[in-house]
Amino acid sequence: SWDKKTNEFSVSEKAARGVTCDVCHSISGAIPLDDTITSEHGNGSHIIDTETHIKYGPLKNSNSPYHETQYSELHTKANLCANCHNIIHPVNGAPIERTYDEWRVSPYAQNGIVCQDCHMNSVEVAIQIAKTLKRPETFINKKVRLGGKASTLGTEDRSIVHSHEFVGGNAIISAIMSPKNLRKRQHADIARKRLQNATELTVDLKQRNDGLFELGVDVFNSGAGHNLPTSLTQVRHIWIEATITDGDNNLLFETGKLDNHHDLDEDKTVIFKSWAVDAKGNDTHDPWAINHIVRDTTIPPKGHSKHDFVFNNKNDSEQINVDVKLNYRSATQHMTDALLGDKAPTIPTINMEHFSKAYVQKNGQWVEAEQSYQSLEVDIENN
């Protein structure tokens, strides 16, 4: 809600705590798969020990002066994360969040890489994991130090001491809830860095036999062990923004621009997301109302999505300037306004990739000019 006294977005004290240490480290096991909706982990299928005050974790021989500790194999596996990050509608079976399922059929899972390897280590380590498809233990060296003592009172050196920042792609919530909190701003910065290392963008320009031009844009999910985007994909979205001008800066083609209300024309934009409908077939982004998914354009791990944009060089210009961005938002402005009303903050756009080149004709072919064309636009997050 919007706090009129502080003129800031606020939540209740309990909600502000989020998922605390005690939640995950009180998980003693999971419900038998035969008793779950899909015979898989998910829908909160974990068992929380509220009786013994034992804290469970992935470290053997751990000790704490504050509580009993116990090694838990579950905490070393992605199954732990699936309990909250695989959600199926309990009534109609519609997939609401499938992050675990996306990982389970990915090259990451096939190579033994689990959620904790990327999301409980630094961005730099996650980048190396994505490049090599190897677990972090395999490239620990003098430059990459992941080990040490697991606490200030620890006596045993561990090969890996996991970060508990749990940063993904959500750079919005932390910043909105606590805009003056340095730690929250750092959390948002890490999320942006992860997003900006999750994909690779390949762009090519060619002239067709009919005289029209074709701009090819390939988006490669190079760095995420799940689809892009993931989680509530009917809310989160990634899209291609492209602006093409001639040598005199005349506009030849444009797509993916936000309107004055910071919304997209989805019919004219390449968007990576899912579209859900309710039982009556009406569009919905409310998880509880979803009946089924009618379309899904999210990009799987190590997957590509290629799109071609056709335009006319109407003035026969000898130079064509191409500016392409891959953008991300945690939610649409329209949905945010519906939830928070007139005081809703503007949802910023995070630029994941940016390609800007000038092309000129050489020996009958269009090639990149020696000096790249510089876009006159400024990314929204840098305004």
The answer to whether residues 246 and 320 belong to one domain is: yes
Q: Of the candidates 166, 183, 209, which is a domain's last residue?
A: 166
**CA–CA gap between residue 228 and residue 226 (Å, rounded):** 7
Share of the chain above pLDDT 70, in %: 86
CA distances from 125 to 85, 107, 150, 160 (A): 22, 17, 18, 12
The answer to whether residues 246 and 139 belong to one domain is: no
| Residues comprising the chain, all counted | 383
pLDDT above 70 for 176? no
Q: Of the candidates 143, 166, 189, which is a domain's last residue?
A: 166
Could you tell me the two tokens for 118? 């990327």
Model confidence over 8-29: pLDDT tens digits?
666 677 666 678 888 999 999 9
The answer to whether residues 241 and 361 belong to one domain is: yes
Residue 324 included in any domain: yes
pLDDT above 50 for 323? yes
The answer to whether residues 78 and 202 belong to one domain is: no
The answer to whether residues 107 and 232 belong to one domain is: no
**CA–CA gap between residue 171 and residue 186 (Å, rounded):** 10
Residue 266 included in any domain: yes
pLDDT above 60 for 377? no
The pLDDT value given to residue 9: 60
Stretch 59-75: mean pLDDT, rounded? 89
The residue that leads in pLDDT, 149 or 45, is: 45
The answer to whether residues 97 and 151 belong to one domain is: yes
The pLDDT value given to residue 138: 82
Residue 183 included in any domain: no
Q: Of the candidates 114, 148, 166, which is a domain's last residue?
A: 166
Of 47-61, 195-209, 332-346, 352-366, give the lowest mean pLDDT range. Answer: 332-346
Q: How many CB atoms lie within 10 A of CB 302?
A: 16
The answer to whether residues 66 and 207 belong to one domain is: no
Model confidence over 354-367: pLDDT tens digits?
999 999 988 878 89
Share of the chain above pLDDT 90, in %: 54
Mean of all residue pLDDT scores within the chain: 86
Stretch 49-77: mean pLDDT, rounded? 90
The answer to whether residues 107 and 55 belong to one domain is: yes
The pLDDT value given to residue 71: 95
Residue 307 included in any domain: yes
Q: How many domains does the chain contain in total?
A: 2
The answer to whether residues 144 and 275 belong to one domain is: no
Radius of gyration of the chain (CA): 24
Name the nearest CA neighbour of 228 among 147, 296, 298: 298
Residue 247 included in any domain: yes
Residue 292 included in any domain: yes
The pLDDT value given to residue 178: 62
The pLDDT value given to residue 274: 96
Name the band, by pLDDT with cuts 50, 70 and 90, for residue 378.
very low
The pLDDT value given to residue 383: 36
The answer to whether residues 359 and 244 belong to one domain is: yes
- What is the pTM for the complete model shown? 0.86
Residue 175 included in any domain: no
- Ranked by mean pLDDT, which of 154-168, 186-200, 263-277 comes out on top? 263-277
CATH number at residue 265: 2.60.40.2360
Residue 370 included in any domain: yes
The answer to whether residues 77 and 143 belong to one domain is: yes
Expressed as residue numbers, the domain containing 125 is: 2-166
The answer to whether residues 15 and 138 belong to one domain is: yes
